[in-house]
Amino acid sequence: MDRIPRKSSKGKQEKDLYHIIHKVPHGDGPYVKAKHAQLVDKDPEAAIVLFWKAINAGDRVDSALKDMAVVMKQLDRTEEAIEAVKSFRGLCSKSTQDSLDNVLIDLYKKSGKIEEQIELLKRKLRMIYQGEAFNGKPTKTARSHGKKFQVSVKQETSRLLGNLGWAYMQKSNFMMAEVVYRKAQMIDPDANKACNLGLCLIKQSRFDDAYSVIQDVLMGRLRGYDDFKARKRAEELILELKSTNPSLETSDMLGLDDDFVKGLENLTNEWAPFRSKRLPIFEEISDTELRDQLAC
């Protein structure tokens, strides 16, 4: 009689180990079946069908919509993924909206929808300087590759600004990209954004400024300087500076609206420990400096 529970316990342990190894949740609903098709069977098409069933059945809709969009992106079905997220995000909880925005940003980036990417990034930054991000808290819990970690408002702002700068670079709007990258570096400087800032300066034929920025990476003055890709890119940019003299690129100067710039500027200069729901952001910038930098 004593052996029966032991066998049952062993079977449960093996079942739990299976779910841990394959990162498949427990249950037998359409969402669990979709994850099994995605992660175990390696059948993305079948997974998408089952994710749709999960959404229609109201089974873990938050996760089903996000996971389905990711799988669609992997299959180069980005347009379909964008429409799915925009159409069904209303079924998802409020706490999921931020991560759905991040999914949309990635989808816009892959599909070349730069204008949509810029507008969404600006909206997320507005939420930060209006005190609406993170539900008024100084940090949030994020997940990457199955691991949870804490992200501060500063880190999130710098990340969003980095993405915004990259989007402006895709528009060949290097002056605007420079402004945004400089603000990002004021908040949370790192080697990758420094390389992008250096490239913006090169594109504007400001070679001395670019050299100074990139040297900060090679001299180990910035976080991430020891990353192989960042260091290699910095070395390549230095070689480009020494060997070529690229012509000045003309920017289309899309510009940012005045309220957005004011909020952005207040955050970078006046950042202080979190005290209230409304976050202090970006220092005010003079009208003259605005005209010089943004040509709105």
CB 27 within 8 A of CB 57: no
Range with lowest mean pLDDT among 8-17, 19-28, 258-267, 284-293: 284-293
* CA nearest to 61, candidates 113, 36, 25, 96: 96
99-112 pLDDT, tens per residue? 999 999 999 999 99
DSSP 8-class letter at 250: P
In angstroms, the CA 65 to CA 186 distance is 35
More confident of the two residues 70 and 250: 70
Tell me the C-alpha to C-alpha distance, in Å, between residue 287 and each of 23, 254, 265, 294: 54, 17, 12, 10
Query: Which pLDDT score is estimated for 82?
Result: 98
Among the ranges given (50-54, 130-134, 151-155, 204-208), the one the predictor scored with the smallest mean pLDDT: 130-134
The pLDDT assigned to 134 comes to: 80
pLDDT given at position 274: 43
Q: Euclidean distance between the first and final Cα of the chain, in Å?
A: 81
Which residues, 6 or more positions from 269, have their beta carbon under 8 angstroms from its beta carbon? 186, 282, 283, 284
C-alpha span between 217 and 233 (Å, rounded)? 10
**Rounded-to-integer distance, Cα 148 and Cα 197, Å:** 30
What global pTM score does this model have?
A: 0.73
What's residue 141's pLDDT? 81
pLDDT at 95: 87
Instruction: Count the helix, strand and coil residues of the chain and give each as a percent rounded to the nearest 5.
Output: 70, 5, 25
Could you tell me the pLDDT band of residue 255, with boundaries at 50, 70 and 90?
low
Which pLDDT value is given to residue 184?
95
Return d(Cα 130, Cα 125) in angstroms, integer.
Answer: 9
CA 168 – CA 292 distance, rounded (Å) = 17
Cα(98)–Cα(117) distance, rounded to whole angstroms?
14
**For residues 77-102, average pLDDT:** 95
Average pLDDT over residues 249-270: 58
Q: According to the model, what pLDDT value does residue 33 have?
A: 95
Percentage of residues in the chain with pLDDT exceeding 70? 73
pLDDT average, residue stretch 244-259: 49
Asked if 282 contacts 183 with a C-beta cutoff of 8 angstroms, the reply is: yes
Residue among 126, 91, 93, 123 nearest 108 (CA): 123
Q: What is the pLDDT averaged over residues 243-264?
A: 55
**Could you tell me if 222 and 194 are in contact, meaning their C-beta atoms sit under 8 angstroms apart?**
yes
- What average pLDDT is seen over the chain? 81
- The single-letter code of the amino acid at 243 is S
pLDDT (average), residues 80-92: 97
Task: Give the mean pLDDT of 46-70.
Answer: 96
